[in-house]
Amino acid sequence: MTATQKTIPGEAAKAPVWRTVANQFLSRPLIVIFVLSIVVASLISPAFLSTRNVFNLLQQSSIIGIISIGMTFVILAAGIDLSVGSVAALGGMIVAILCQDQWPVALAIVAALAAGALLGLAMGSIVALTSVPSFVITLGGLVAIRGLTLLLTDGRPVFGVPEELKFLGAGFIGPVPVVGIIFILVTIAAAVFLRLTRAGRYLYAVGGNADAARLSGVPVMAVVAMTFVVCSTLAAFGGVLLTAWLEVGQPTASAGAELTAIAAVVLGGTSLFGGKGGVFGTFVAVILLSILSNILNLAGVSPYFQQITTGLVLVGTVLLNWFIARRAAPMA
Amino acid sequence: MTIEMQVPALAPTPAGPPLAELRNIYVAFGGVHAVEDVTVDLHAGEVVGLVGGNGAGKSTLIRVLSGAHTADSGEVLINGQRVEIRNPRDAKALGIETIYQTLALADNIDAAGNVFLGRELQSRLGSLDDAAMESATRNVMGRLNPRFRNFKTPVKSLSGGQRQSVAIARAVHFNAKILIMDEPTAALGPAETAQVRELVMQLKAEGIGIFLISHDIHDVYDLSDRISVMLQGKLVGTVRKERVTKDEVLAMIIMGKQPGDVTQSDLEELHG
Ligand SMILES: Nc1ncnc2c1ncn2[C@@H]1O[C@H](COP(=O)(O)OP(=O)(O)O)[C@@H](O)[C@H]1O
Ligand SMILES: [Mg+2]
């Protein structure tokens, strides 16, 4: 047992303001860093908070954001999915090729998502049925699925995207980018699923303690496989939207997306050990990563330096979380 | 004290097929024979104490009935009927509830979430009905541990006794017919232990059959109707409680001796 310092309501009321703020900071560093970065950005450039720039940020964040929401599912169940970049590229290629073959756009999208779901089911089932770490299985997926994607067209991009598809990727409703709306809807749907459904509850139980979940009657294997299906389907969807945005199916697209997605999930406060976190943290983290690169762009900083900064912010935030967890449980 | 009378190792049990019977169970882990050819049974309204030193195979045996793992061979019978228990779900469907030695709680989820884990209450729309689950949990807890207050926090932050209460609440809430309690008082203080003993008496009176497992005969002697003793994976024997003394059971646990075979020097050794 650890003698955790619990704040007693009466005590909190008496505490000085700075302490309340400090406690807030220590319980939610991500939100504080998020707000700080917005303040800094608007100080550097008044244009930062313009409607145009805000929606720009949303648009930039959306595709990697949708992929990161899927990654959150897998990580909540204590897994990892390294194949999302390759699955995204495959989804983007499938939709481009089928549209070129005059398939109806909706059907082409469904086919791309189905391919993602099937690959997720395959990788997820192997992870669930064996004790081989998901890291290894999806590393195989990363390589093999990229190969499959390149094989489809011998490595050539596929040009020409129908108008309806373009609208999904690059269209606007009023001033709002369509991908941004999709990203927000996906996040809300995921949050509702995690918070309000039985399967969502099971996901947390499995991520927290798979053995306890099994003994409680939770179908652990199905839950694990489900997370990979969700992740791969959303990755394929991200790829579809990227093709729609860029108006080209690129077999080499989204390379390295897995690392950005994992970074966003971790930055968003979801534990790599599973069972703790959620999609709103991921949403905020994805936008934060975009804001950071936006700030550095506005300040005219070299993109190489931007990578360094992103890496440092990631490690810094995670260390902060670790420090807070340690403070809360001094004996651990 | 000397033993005059030969005591039958297997006393007659109530009429009718037992509520539960584990027959000729074998379980091995790699080269370790954790359970070898063990047969035990349990009747409605009966408490069977399952005792033996650490590593004797008690938990492994009983986890076969819980569905936590399957036996390499042997049969499980419920009300005289052979049943397949492939997983914990199957066991629960048969009215078998278990308080595991490790408690098997989802640490990151609150008390109500744990009590209903795998059997969540849902609203008509199919969403989790957290309010109903919490109120039901408050009800059970009111009976088991009225001082329990932390309904909103993940069970990780609870004390050992409170966590035990959550595990017990989960086992008794679903109208078990067969209750397995694996070292249920290991993490408890004297007051909480007394509460659990009271609960065992109450559930027994309701006609529930209880396997009460402990490495310490003192934990189960008073409560048990019969006592089954295991040593190194094998069953030493099953005795009616009123026919044996604690010392005789101790000799079974430590030396594997049948009650009638205990000598004066054995007893001296036990107490030496
Ligand atoms: N999952 C497992 N894997 C390997 N060996 C195990 C496992 N569970 C139990 N054992 C071994 O089986 C034997 C019996 O253990 P257990 O049933 O836990 O005993 P008890 O509950 O009587 O203390 C011990 O030797 C133990 O080390
Ligand atoms: Mg044990």
Rounded distance from Cα B23 to ligand 1 centre (Å) = 19
* CB of B107 closer than 8 Å to CB of A210: no
Record: contact B88-A217, CB cut-off 8 A: yes
Three-class SS of residue A60?
A: helix
Q: Is the pTM of this model over 0.95?
A: no
Q: Which ligand is nearest to the CA of B68?
A: 1
Q: Is B85 in CB contact (< 8 Å) with chain A?
A: no
User: Looking at the domain assignment, is residue A230 inside a domain?
Assistant: yes
User: Looking at the domain assignment, is residue A1 inside a domain?
Assistant: no
Q: What's the distance, CA A76 to chain centroid?
A: 12
Tell me how long chain B is. Answer: 272
Q: How far is CA A92 from CA A157, B103, B140, in A?
A: 10, 47, 53
**Does the ipTM exceed 0.85?**
yes
Pocket test for ligand 1, best of B29, B230, B236 (most atoms within 8 A of CB): B29
Record: contact B87-A201, CB cut-off 8 A: no
Q: Consecutive 10-residue runs of chain A (332 residues): their mean pLDDT?
A: 42 62 70 88 87 93 98 98 98 98 97 98 97 95 98 95 95 96 98 97 96 96 98 98 97 95 93 93 95 84 82 83 71 40
Domain that holds residue A170: 58-328
Mean pLDDT, chain B, whole residue set = 91
Pocket test for ligand 1, best of B22, B54, B60 (most atoms within 8 A of CB): B60
Number of domains in chain A: 1
User: Looking at the domain assignment, is residue A77 inside a domain?
Assistant: yes
Show Cβ contacts of residue B204 under 8 Å, excluding neighbours closer than 6 positions: B45, B46, B47, B210
Question: Which residues in chain B have their CB less than 8 angstroms from residue A213's CB?
Answer: 106, 117-118
Architecture of domain B20-105+175-271: 3-Layer(aba) Sandwich (3.40)
Which pLDDT tens digit goes with each residue over B141-166? 988 888 898 899 999 999 888 999 99
Question: Which residues in chain B have their CB less than 8 angstroms from residue A214's CB?
Answer: 87-88
Which pLDDT tens digit goes with each residue over A221-278? 999 999 999 999 999 999 999 999 999 999 999 999 999 999 999 999 999 999 999 9
Q: CA A79 to CA A206: how far, in whole Å?
A: 10
Q: How far is CA A278 from CA A284, A320, B100, B186, in A?
A: 11, 18, 30, 35
For the Cβ of B258 lying below 6 angstroms from any atom of ligand 1, the answer is: no
Q: CA B189 to CA B192: how far, in whole Å?
A: 5
Record: contact A214-B87, CB cut-off 8 A: yes
Residues 209-248 of A with CB under 8 A from B: 209, 211-219
Which pLDDT tens digit goes with each residue over B181-237? 999 988 788 888 998 999 999 999 999 999 999 999 999 999 999 999 999 999 999
Nearest CA to ligand 1 atom 6: B29
